[in-house]
Amino acid sequence: MRDAGFFRIFVTGDRTLLNLIDTHKVLRDSKHSLVELRPLSYQTTQQQEEFALFLERFDWDMPFVTTPLSDKKMEEPLYFATRGRPGVLAMLLEAATVQAFRRSMDKDGKLVELPRTMEVVDLARAFQRKMGAESRMLGINPFTHVGAFPSYPKTLEGELDELQRVLAGKAARGRQRGSRLYDDDK
């Protein structure tokens, strides 16, 4: 596709994709521009308003008459779920769209009618499927959670610190598991 040159290719992913591109000669030589969308912060009133506006823009482009994106009460649950990352929001909304269509199917799996709304339950199911097992979510599904959220990062710096802790924890668990496997082989 790349060699045909008739169209551009748009690739999205997390930061590990940059490592792949930089270590693979063909990919490195063919990249023309990389755009990194920084996570939105949610600490100050102005940042919360910016995030709300971001959600509103997403809401306009959704294929539904209404979605929870325009509900003021859904701002923090959406931020908690995505940590302000545009790509994670897009992934979550794609999965929630699938859930909305599933609601509109009969018992044989045939679409009865096009769904007119995306519901909070669609977001809850999508979150559970896509991110429910992540340790940094603290076992909380933000779309079914009642009460205040526990402390979590609301800035890029805090998010990076949290990711470092999670990765370090995973690495430590991997080493422990590996040593147990090695000890079992003896």
| Residue pLDDT tens, the chain, 186 long | 445 555 556 666 666 766 776 676 766 666 555 556 788 999 999 999 999 999 999 899 899 999 999 999 999 999 999 999 888 999 999 999 999 999 999 989 898 999 999 999 999 999 999 998 888 898 999 999 999 999 988 988 887 888 788 778 777 776 665 555 555 555
Alpha carbons 44 and 121: distance in angstroms, whole number: 29
Q: How far is CA 155 from CA 27, 144, 158, 168, in A?
A: 32, 24, 5, 20
The β-bridge partners of 105 are 111
User: Within 13 Å of residue 82, how many CA atoms lie on the same side as its CB?
Assistant: 27
CA quadruple 18, 20, 25, 30: dihedral positive or negative?
Answer: negative
DSSP SS3 for 111? strand
- The values of phi and psi at residue 37, to 5°, are -85, 115
pLDDT at 43: 93
pLDDT at 34: 53
pLDDT at 52: 96
